């Protein structure tokens, strides 16, 4: 598991470097997107629990449980399952979850993320060029949305056979069953990477992005060693 955690950290670091020049309005203390509807993989949750000691924070289990009593988003398919359907020319599975807006229980009294350095990719991927509160929602460049999906797919592939779902469901079930053994209702199984779907006008930037990503070091390996050799690309 350790080298997979190292690969996950390498992806987080790569993403932070790659997106460093993209202007965002997000500022410390703004937590509009920190809801109870964040999704994650078991790899990310196990990493966060281990590194941030989530369950040593007093009251955290009660806060998570009470969030789960309200409406929360629960995906019906993983990102790679959705990509497979699209690549086969099928419509995405219809969603039936509710995007409840209850606040994430990882926020501390100051409104800051208590697990910030170890937060899942869904938290890192959420950014906006304009202040969401004023604009009524987040605004992202199309290419950023594309590479966010690519990173979601890669993390799922690295955790294939592991689990995917609402972060709070994964935390609660993981706490009951122990690290690395996450099972339960509302939880999906991560799938292998079926390939990427890239808009034609973004192909050159995507290829440059992938060339950099696969060269990112992970100990004696590179991130490319964690991926299929020549992933299919549909454009």
Binding-site ranges for ligand SF4 (CB under 6 A):
31, 34, 38, 104, 106-107, 113, 115, 119, 123
Residue 178 region, left (φ>0) first, then alpha (ψ -120 to 50), else beta?
Answer: left
Q: In the bound complex, what is the minimum distance in angstroms from residue 165's beta carbon to ligand SF4? A: 15
Give the nearer residue to ligand SF4 in terms of CB position, either 104 or 187: 104
- When the beta carbons of 123 and 173 are compared against ligand SF4, the nearer one is 123
Q: CB of 167: closest distance to ligand SF4 in angstroms?
A: 7
* Separation CA 5–CA 7 (nearest Å): 5
CB nearer ligand SF4, residue 106 or residue 172: 106
Q: How far is the CB of 105 from ligand SF4 (least distance, A)?
A: 8
Residues 125/100, Cβ–Cβ less than 8 Å: no
The strand pair at 188-189 and 221-222 is best described as: unpaired
Shortest reach from residue 192's CB to ligand SF4, in Å: 26
CB 49 within 8 A of CB 13: no
CA dist 52 and 66 (Å) reads: 21
Helix axes 2-18, 142-158, angle to 10 degrees: 170
Q: Smaller CB distance to ligand SF4: residue 101 or 234?
A: 101
For residue 30, the minimal CB distance to ligand SF4 (Å) is 10
Q: In the complex with ligand SF4, which residue's Cβ is closer, 121 or 206?
A: 121
Residue with tokens 């920190």: 34
């Amino acid at each position: 598991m350790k080298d997979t955690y190292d690969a996950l950290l390498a992806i987080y670091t790569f993403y932070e470097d790659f997106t460093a020049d993209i202007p965002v309005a997000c500022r410390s203390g703004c937590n509009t997107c920190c809801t109870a509807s964040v999704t994650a993989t078991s790899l990310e949750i196990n990493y966060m629990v281990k590194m941030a000691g989530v369950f040593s924070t007093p009251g955290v289990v009660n806060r998570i449980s009470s969030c789960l009593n309200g409406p929360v988003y629960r995906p019906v398919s993983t990102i790679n399952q959705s990509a497979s359907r699209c690549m086969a020319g099928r419509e995405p599975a219809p969603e039936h979850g509710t995007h409840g807006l209850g606040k994430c229980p990882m926020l501390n009294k100051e409104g800051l993320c208590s697990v910030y350095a170890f937060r899942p990719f869904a938290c890192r991927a959420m950014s906006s060029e304009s202040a969401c509160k004023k604009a009524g929602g987040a605004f992202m460049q199309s290419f950023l949305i594309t590479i966010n999906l690519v990173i979601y797919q890669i993390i799922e592939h690295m955790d294939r056979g592991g689990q995917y779902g609402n972060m709070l469901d994964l935390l609660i079930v993981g706490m009951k069953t122990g690290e690395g053994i996450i099972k339960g209702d509302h939880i999906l199984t991560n799938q292998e990477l079926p390939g990427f779907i890239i808009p034609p006008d973004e192909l050159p930037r995507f290829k440059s992005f992938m060339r950099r990503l696969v060269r990112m070091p992970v100990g004696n390996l590179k991130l490319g060693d964690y991926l299929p050799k020549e992933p299919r690309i549909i454009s």
